[in-house]
Amino acid sequence: METQSNKSEKRNKIIYWIFTLWLALGMVSTAAVQLLKNKDEVENFTSLGYPAYLMTIIGVWKILGVIAVLIPKYPLLKEWAYAGFFFVMSGAIISHLASDHNSSKIFASLLLLVLTLISYYFRPADRKVG
């Protein structure tokens, strides 16, 4: 018979993997757009006052962060990846707000920030430091 604790762990693991896979998909897709220097994304990025070359740096770090979050073990590396996702997404939201961009430009960053927080919160014990 399955205990309440086992059911809770199973539910949390399902939540973790659903949100983590959506987070990974979102980060990889936005990284690809940045690395391929999509015209609209370059325009959006530079309208925030950032140089276009920063897109390459952020795109590479997003892909490395996704790898860190998805691979087994290395919990400290995962902490760094989640922190990076949090900083880049919260920074994007603040940048869009400071530049008076409409809510549609903020939505993608906000969604990825929420996915980051939910994935981080529900991560299994073997993916946590300590």
Eight-class DSSP state of 73: S
Contact 69, 23 (CB under 8 A): yes
pLDDT digits (tens, 9 = 90+) for 3-34: 888 899 999 999 999 999 999 999 999 999 99
Closest C-alpha among 71, 66, 77, 70 to residue 31: 66
Distance between CA atoms of residues 104 and 111, nearest Å: 11
Q: What predicted TM-score, i.e. pTM, was given to this entire model?
A: 0.92
pLDDT in tens, 59-77: 999 999 999 999 999 999 9
DSSP code for 38: -
